[in-house]
Amino acid sequence: MLSIITPVYNSERFIADCIEGVIAQRCSNLEHIIVDGGSTDRTVDIIQHYVDRYPHLRWRSEPDQGQSDAMNKGIVMAKGTVMGVLNVDDSYEPDVLNQIGDRFKTLPEPTLLVGNCNIWDDAGNLLEVNKPSKLQLFDLVTGLNVNPYPCNPAAYFYHTSLHQKIGFYNLNDHYSMDLEFLLRAVQVADVVYVDQVWGNYRRLEGTKTVNDMKNGQTSQRVMQLLKQYRNDLSTLQRWQLTLYDRWATIAYFLKKPQAFPQAVKAKLFKASPNLS
């Protein structure tokens, strides 16, 4: 069975489309677990309306400690051997879930199966297609501008048993919990990348993710996580990464000498006008 977990809070605008989008997948061996954080709008009423009609829907509603807590509750509830997380404002491409179920029949346990993800803006414009083809720990911690990580869980799935090896989502992380989970997962799972679009991620104005990106906090959070997980690399890999970082820095300032710090520029190059 495939378990899809949707954390939700005050999302009356999106919850019906989310539920109907999973129904439209026509996947018979499926449960859709909706974990509501105690919504005060019409979210619960809408969920209840669908639960009464569709037996594959399971849900609970109670105050929680945020998105990570909601996902962890869903994991505990899950009965499936394969799991995915679908945020309430995101969606799958047509017939993805049946494909996923078929693929996992031959994959060793635990496997992390990753596809591509469309990234859309508020107006429905396609911003880019996230193609995270390199997914070993060394690749990810090299830098997201070099090897992008899976940007949204709508485009990856994994054996539920993976949580027995790496634990649950970090309750104290309310922004980069997906990346932190992936950095742990790639160290113990068989990682399989498929060059197909499976998910759709909407960067909606006013959401915590977009607000975090606009105020510059996302980049800082990501860099802190990558720095932390570089410690899990072998000694040789850390040396390789150090050399890579130095060459990348040199290459950057050769292309953009105006960005070179003035104090260092004056000391090393005696304030040469060619670097100003």
Mean pLDDT by 10 residues, the chain (276 residues): 97 97 97 98 98 96 94 97 97 98 97 98 94 95 87 97 96 87 97 98 75 68 89 91 70 53 49 40
Q: Which residues contact 133 (CB under 8 A, 6 or more apart)?
A: 147, 193, 195
Alpha carbons 229 and 273: distance in angstroms, whole number: 40
pLDDT reported for residue 260: 47
What pTM was computed for the model? 0.86
Residues 129 and 51 in one domain: yes
Domain ends where: 195, 216, 231?
231
Q: What pLDDT, on the 0 to 100 scale, is given for residue 254? A: 57
Q: What is the number of H-type helices and E-type strands within the chain?
A: 11, 9
Judge if 225 and 240 occupy the same domain. Answer: no
Tell me the sheet residues that pair with 35. Answer: 7, 60
How many other C-beta atoms are found inside a 10 Å radius of the C-beta of residue 129?
12
φ/ψ of 117, rounded to 5, equals: -140, 130
Whole-number pLDDT of residue 276: 38
* Tokens at 259, concatenated: 């960005």
Query: Side chain identity at 16, as an amino acid letter?
Result: A
Domain coverage including residue 256? 235-275
At 261 the pLDDT is: 55
User: Could you tell me if 112 and 104 are in contact, meaning their C-beta atoms sit under 8 angstroms apart?
Assistant: no
The total number of structural domains in the chain stands at: 2
Q: Are residues 15 and 117 in the same domain?
A: yes
pLDDT of residue 270: 46
